[in-house]
Structure 1
Amino acid sequence: MEKFKSFSLSSPPLIFLSFLFLSSLSPISPSGGRRHYNESLFDATLLPNTSTYDFIIVGGGTAGCPLAATLSQHFKVLVLESGRNNQDYPQTATEDGFLQILADASSGVANSPAQSFTSLDGVSNIRGRVLGGGSSVNGGFYSRAQPAFFEAGAAAGIVWDMGLVNASYEWVEKKVVHRPKLDIWQTAVGGALLEANVRPFNGFSVEHLEGTKISGTTFGPDGRRHSAAELLGYAKLTNLVVALRATVEKILLDIHPGGLKKPFAKGVMYRDSLGRPHYAFLRPQGEVILSAGALGSPHLLLLSGIGPPNLLRPWHIPLAVSHPFVGQFLADNPQTGVTIISPFRLPTYLSKLVGISNSSSFYIETSTKNTPLHPQISAASPILNHTIASLFEKVACPVSTGSLWLASADVQDNPVVKFNYFASPVDMGQCIEGMRTMAKVLKSPKLEGFKFPGVFGGKEFRYVGPEMVRDEEDDLQLEGLCRKSLTTFWHYHGGCLVGKVVDSEYRVIGVDSLRVVDGSTFAVSPGTNPQATVMMLGRYVGSQLTKEKWTPNRFAAGKKR
């Protein structure tokens, strides 16, 4: 059997600068020397009522930041982000803060970096509302996409340049990805996965490899997060404006009478935090690019009159382009599993380890968390102050899909969402197989040290919530556990699929000068965590657009026309 051990990284951490929010449009250089991307961040209230750019990117998140950094090398770029600077929220910087983010979002704390929503399936979920998007509020796990992701894209018409794909991943990894050291719990689970036949042991890798591996993380050796926002450090700052607290209400379309020509995007209308409207327009040959995520991008298309007529009519939204698939084929990867109490305290340590099944149909991950409790509760029940350790699985490529539609004509209101978890028996079958493997993991001697003395002798786990089934060969018991423990990894995707809403180059079908570049275009969730591939996609499409559009004499940033 392969020997399982933890690995650490000795390379120096990235420089993380804490910087106060800009109070004017005057450039400020941190430390009086090296320029920082905060120079390009402005509260939307400080921006002019009307402006023009080569590219307008809606969403300064996981895809929008690398896309903007790439395009800014040769074009004037405006990024419109509805949230604040992630550096305004200390909780986004650490693994302990991850729990606070979830708690604040679920309790509706004002100005939280994440916004909660509950699907019609009854599962609570979140979406990032902060610079860096989901990469600023997630668990930091980093792993590249599986072959099935690229195969699905190719089937929809995408001609992948795999050389550029790999170069784009490397561009991201150089800035924000680190090699982690495992804690005692994840080291033990790694050994148990190997005993449960989730083999081979692949050591550390950011590649998608079947078996057990240690993956990359966006938390550095100093414990601080490095989100997609830091990819703005690659930008040409003189060409970049990032507007914070800028809520885009609609895409401005030029529609030809009689439909003789395709409508084209000419800009967007957005409001600042004081509710004042601003209009950003495109220069000749420019484009509006939606990078607002799997909820935000289809939502904005609908609010702009691009979508199924029956979904627009109740809200009196004029139909601009009939598009039957906007908001359709929305999917979320089910998370199921069990949680135990550790007999001794461990630090909060989010997932750094993954077991990938031989068929890549399910992934098994783990984490430890310390939930803050009131001192009186801790004193009365010391057991409650221990660490909780979770073992959970992800159904890799759910067949079940749902949709989203408008809850109102107000962009501030989340759309109505239904994912239809486990509607397909294929998904349930994959969940059952993953649960069966987890049951074997929990029986491993490697985890014996995490048990308590049993009431009737022996040792046993103490569970929080649903317990692992007694008989892992009983599919009905396993199915019941899949349903009882159902929650989410926050890896929802779809709503603007390639071949349905956008073409193979991410252009909205039937509308010129408008693209969607984010996870809403995915038919398959990439790898064990999508953030690596979403960031890669921003860089990838930005590079392709630069090659397509830029020449020194034709479309250079700042050139008068």
Structure 2
Amino acid sequence: MVKSTMSAILILVLHLFILHLQYSEIHSLANTSAHDFSYLEIVYDANDTELEGTYDYIIVGGGTAGCPLAATLSANYSVLVLERGTLPTEYPNLLTSDGFIYNLQQEDDGQTPVERFVSGDGIDNVRGRVLGGTSMINAGVYVRANTSFFNQTGIEWDMDLVNKTYDWVEDTIVFKPDFQFWQNLTGTAFLEVGILPDNGFSLDHIEGTRLTGSTFDNNGTRHASDELLNKGDPNNLKVAVHAAVEKIIFSSNSSGVTAIGVIYTDSNGTTHQAFVRGEGEVILSAGPIGSPQLLLLSGVGPESYLTSLNISVVASHPYVGQYIYDNPRNFINILPPNPIEPSTVTVLGITSDFYQCSLSSLPFSIAPFSFFPIPTYPLPNTTFAHIVNKVPGPLSHGTVTLQSTSDVRVAPNVTFNYYSNSTDLAHCVSGMKKIGEFLSSDALKPYKVEDLPGIEGFDILGIPLPEDQTDDAAFETFCQVAVASYWHYHGGCLVGEVLDDDFRVTGINALRVVDGSTFPSTPASHPQGFYLMLGRYVGSKILQERLASE
């Protein structure tokens, strides 16, 4: 009996060891290195007339999804990428983890890589305006999508291809982070307050506490979607920067409306055109703000709305610019009595109702735009910790509408209607109460300025939590008053409303949208991993379609 028990234990241990090896093989990650700009040989300024011509695919937007999409399609076809922003080499602070705050501080002069805007809700926000898009300005957190997300999209995914695609991304620009003191302490506190289990290191969006991947390597160098262009065929791929696509060009005949090209302007305002040939397509990867804006400017959207703006209607699409979402970010800032080392976000606490993380930072005297919800928010004069709650989904949604009917460089109006849905507000209340528990943990006691019980004793920067942890109404007010953007906005061209399950714009030939505008909920606590995968995935599916038809 003893021998059989011991044998069973040995078999179990061996099985777990094999599973560990299999898991380790799944996540073959990149090695620390310099940012790879080899692709610069295929980059042109938009004023170069050599770009005007005919291609198999024109991709509008060289961002998180656009770059892997372009690299993939270039394996067999000619591809032109039109990016409105500049090269990241022009702004070296983009390329370091230390530059994350600096880039938000830098004044927006119309060319800088961080474009500022204020939503109709009165909340400061930003979007990427640089090759690499938001992957070049974000906090570097890398996560694979929640497995349940795929079941909710209305798309029949090839999950084997999904996983291969993740690997394709991860072995180039994703890293396992080294130890960071504040991140380790954050994980300890999450576990102490019941965000279980301890999942160790994992890229998967799963409930519990874990160390996740980062697109910052362990030298603090940022890696981003632009580096995936290096995986393309340079003989088939051209990338234009400072190329603002003004309109999609359509033809109309007995087979219907077809996208045949685009009109774009360079930084001097000179107009250019490029066209697609044969079975080629125009693919929008301009993001949840840029893609709906371009469709509306091109006459694809709600008929009555376009008519009221004197825009010729090419195709009536009532849901273009509708159902845009932004995940609310609520937070607490603490000023510890002794300095703490800066850290990037690498440890996550995941539940079904909220996602949490924390970063530690040096003090600053210039407000990082949108880091705090309004410009008058108090600034830290010492090192501080920023402890964050994110509401999943969300269910609250808003609209994108045009501010200019003729100039794509004029940002559209965007309203998100934060917490207009009561479920979102309830999730915020639950999450901020959990942050109250986090502050009350033994792990956080050394960071109090006074030895007081519970959430008391901290030097709080900004709005504190309600003193009564059972007062739901007070927490609801806190959530509504202290809300900021998580910069994870999505929607505006939803699959099932604007797009079919192959990301084609319904009713229009040769036009797709492949970016963050396509789904009504966030795919994970941090979405960039999914959208990096999506570009490669859709490109691979298009190649399969073309191969089958040819």
**One fold, TM greater than 0.5?**
yes
Would you say the 8 A contact 1:251–1:268 is kept in 2? Answer: yes
Partner of 2:64: 62
Q: Residue 110 of structure 1: CA displacement?
A: 4.2
Which residue in 1 is equivalent to 2:347?
Answer: 353
Deviates more, 1:419-428 or 1:364-373: 364-373
- 1:58, distance to aligned residue in structure 2 (A): 0.1
Write the mapping of 1:131-530 to structure 2, written as runs, cut at 5 A: 131-153=131-153, 156=154, 158-256=155-253, 260-357=254-351, 360-373=352-365, 384-409=380-405, 410-453=407-450, 460-530=457-527
Match of 1:120? Answer: 120
Alignment of 1:13 onto 2:5 = no
- Secondary structure at the aligned position of 1:45 is classed as coil
Q: Which amino acid aligns with 2:93?
A: Q
RMSD: 2.0
After superposition, what is the alpha-carbon deviation per residue over 1:302-329, rounded to whole angstroms, capped at 9, x for unaligned?
A: 0000001232224321111010000011
**Alignment partners' CA distance in 2, 1:60 and 1:348:** 31
Q: Is 1:74–1:550's contact at 8 Å kept on the other side of the alignment?
A: no
How far the C-alpha of 1:14 sits from its partner, in A, is: 3.1
One-letter amino acid of the counterpart of residue 362, structure 2: N
State the distance in 2 between where 1:416 and 1:179 align: 38
What does the per-residue CA deviation read over 1:81-100, in whole Å, with 9 as the maximum and x for residues that have no partner?
00011122111111221111
Cα distance in 2 between the residues matched to 1:10 and 1:406: 42
Contact 1:56–1:79 at 8 Å: present in 2 too? yes
- Secondary structure of residue in 2 paired with 1:263: strand
CA contact (8 A) 1:255 1:320 kept: no
Contact 2:34/2:221 (8 A) holds in 1: no
Q: What secondary structure does 2:390 align onto?
A: strand
Distance 1:150 1:50 in 2: 38
Aligned partner of residue 521 in structure 1, secondary structure? coil
Letter in 2 for 1:274: N
TM-superposed CA distance for 1:298, in Å, is 0.6
Shift of 1:373: 3.2
Contact 1:200 1:210 in 2 (8 A): yes
Letter in 1 for 2:487: W
- For the residues of structure 2 that align with 1:237 and 1:49, how far apart are their CA atoms? 14
Letter in structure 1 aligned against 2:329: Q
**Secondary structure of the residue that 1:452 maps to in structure 2?**
coil
CA distance in 2, matches of 1:312, 1:507: 21
* Deviation of 1:11 (Å): 7.1
Structure 1 residues 201-239: Cα deviation after superposition (integer angstroms, max 9, x where no partner): 101110111000111000001110001111111111111
What amino acid is aligned across from residue 368 of structure 1 in structure 2?
S
User: 2:108: which partner in 1?
Assistant: 108
Aligned-pair CA distance for 1:10: 11
Aligned AA (1:132) = G
CA distance in 2, matches of 1:406, 1:261: 30
User: CA offset at residue 342 of structure 1?
Assistant: 2.6
Q: The residue matched to 1:238 in structure 2 has which SS?
A: coil
Which amino acid in the other structure matches residue 99 of structure 2? G
Q: Any stretches of 5+ residues in structure 1 without a counterpart?
A: 1-8, 20-35, 375-382, 555-561
User: Which structure 2 segments of 5+ residues have no match?
Assistant: 1-27, 367-378
Task: Indicate conservation of the 8 Å contact 2:29/2:171, yes or no.
Answer: no
Check the 8 A contact 1:294/1:495 in 2, yes or no. Answer: yes
1:143–1:10 CA distance, 2 compared to 1 (3 A): closer
Change (3 A) 1:305 1:110: closer
Q: Is the 8 A contact 1:370 1:388 kept in 2?
A: yes
Secondary structure at the residue paired with 1:504? coil
Give the CA deviation at 1:55: 0.3
Per-residue deviation, 1:455 = 10
Corresponding pairs, count: 509
1:545 aligns with 2:542: yes
Letter matched to residue 285 of structure 2 = S
Q: Note the alpha carbon deviations across 1:77-125, whole angstroms, 9 max, x for none.
A: 0000000111221111112211111122xx4334210111111111111
**Alpha-carbon deviation of 1:459?**
7.6
Bigger mean CA offset, 93-102 vs 195-204:
93-102
Greater alpha carbon shift after TM alignment, 402-411 vs 177-186: 177-186
CA distance in 2, matches of 1:355, 1:473: 22
Deviates more, 1:333-342 or 1:179-188: 179-188
- Supply the AA of the counterpart residue of 1:318: S
Contact 1:311–1:406 under 8 Å retained in 2: no
| C-alpha contact 1:99 1:371 (8 A) present in aligned 2 | no
2:383 corresponds to which letter in structure 1?
A: T
Between the aligned partners of 2:256 and 2:353, the Cα distance in structure 1 is: 41
* CA-CA distance at 1:384 after TM superposition: 4.9
1:8-47 map, 5 Å: 12-17=31-36, 36-47=38-49
Aligned to 2:528: 531
Question: Mean alpha-carbon deviation: is it higher for 415-424 or for 95-104?
Answer: 95-104
CA distance 1:407–1:11, change in 2 (3 Å): closer
Q: Which amino acid aligns with 1:83?
A: G
Question: Aligned partners of 1:488 and 1:350: how far apart in 2?
Answer: 18
* Matched letter for residue 372 of structure 1: F
**What is the identity percentage for the equivalent residue pairs of Structure 1 and Structure 2?**
43
**How far is 1:484 from its partner?**
2.2
Deviations 1:354-375 (A, max 9, x none): 1001xx221011111224338x
Amino acid at match of 1:56: I
> In structure 2, how many angstroms separate the alpha carbons of the residues matched to 1:229 and 1:489?
23
Compute the displacement of 1:422 (Å): 0.6
Instruction: Please state if 1:88 is matched with 2:82.
Output: no
Q: Please give the secondary structure, in 2, of the residue aligned with 1:508.
A: coil
Task: Specify the SS of the correspondent of 1:519.
Answer: coil
- 1:397 to partner: Cα distance: 1.0
1: distance between equivalents of 2:113 and 2:30? 30
Amino acid in the other structure paired with 1:216: G
Native 8 Å contact 2:30 2:174 kept in 1: no
Corresponding residue SS for 1:365: strand
CA contact (8 A) 2:30 2:170 kept: no
* Shift in Å, 1:195: 1.2
Q: What's the offset of the Cα at 1:176?
A: 0.4
Q: Which residue of 2 aligns with 1:99?
A: 101
Q: Secondary structure at the match of 2:277?
A: strand
Deviation at 1:184, TM superposition (A): 1.9
Distance in 2, Cα, partners of 1:110 & 1:50? 25
Q: Which amino acid aligns with 2:267?
A: S
